[in-house]
Amino acid sequence: IFFNESKYIKKMLKKFGLEDSKPTKTPMSTEIKLTKDDDADFVDSSKYRGMIGSLLYLTASRPDIMFSVFLCARFQESPKTTYLEAIKRIFRYIRGTIHLGLWYSKGTEIETIVYADSDHAGYYVDRKSTNDVCTFMGSCLTSWFAKKQAAPTISTTKAEYVSTGKACQQALWMKQALIDYDIRLDDVLIM
């Protein structure tokens, strides 16, 4: 099974007037930090929220944009031109990668691996870290999320521990959910 949202992406690009935009190779620039930008002009918040909402829907089949969309969604209350440019870059990225999606092959092994990561104090406004967790069954990505941690951490190690804790919660949930299908996992590898 291959999940691909190319029709939806084309519709979104047309809706927001970005169908002729120049594609990029990455969803975010490594040189730009999204912070509270007091100098930039405000943009139409309903358009910004509409773009975020459209991209959030797309993250169900495109985990490669999840973190970028998650970061931009933090600025919905008072969007400014710098945040809108970051959103447009995500749209330009998906325009160039419209063919990507999720592939689930027949006969995939049930071995489950959960990956966790965090960015220590990555959110420049309140210095909170972000947890990223991805769960694979065999070679298939089955669940993923990014979530800002509840409180700031004092070190990279502490941020990674918090993220690993979220990965353990996800692994336990996955293990329990599979029991409903009479699938029993002995071990879940967390990395």
Separation in Å, CA 186 to CA 60, 64, 79, 145, 189 = 28, 29, 47, 24, 10
The per-residue pLDDT for 34 is 77
> Does residue 25 share a domain with residue 88?
yes
- Range of the structural domain that residue 65 is part of: 2-96
Average pLDDT over residues 159-184: 90
- Domains held by the chain: number: 2
Residue 139, in any domain of the structure: yes
> Do 113 and 177 belong to one domain?
yes
Do 112 and 86 share a domain, yes or no? no
Given a cut of 80, whether residue 168 has pLDDT beyond it is yes
Residue 157 parent element (H or E): helix 156-179
Provide the mean pLDDT of the chain: 91
d(CA 184, CA 143): 18
Check residue 185 and give its pLDDT. Answer: 84
Element (H or E) spanning 66, and its range? Answer: helix 66-73
User: Looking at the structure, do residues 8 and 83 belong to the same domain, yes or no?
Assistant: yes
User: Residue 108: its pLDDT value, please?
Assistant: 67
Residues 161, 151: contact at Cβ < 8 Å?
Answer: no
- pLDDT digits over 23-39, tens only? 999 999 988 777 777 78
- Reduce the DSSP state of residue 172 to 3 states and report it: helix
- How far, in Å, CA of 16 to CA of 139, rounded? 35
Whether 169 has a pLDDT exceeding 70, the answer reads yes
Residues 73, 128 within the same domain: no
CA gap 151, 67 in Å, rounded: 19
**Phi, psi angle pair for 144, to nearest 5°:** -160, 150
For 117-155, how does the pLDDT look when each residue is reduced to its tens digit (9 = 90+)? Answer: 998 887 777 888 989 999 998 888 999 998 889 999 999
Distance CA 159, CA 149 (A): 8
Q: Is residue 28 part of a domain?
A: yes
Q: Which of 46, 45, 81, 59 minimizes the C-alpha distance to 9?
A: 59
Mean per-residue pLDDT, 167-189: 87
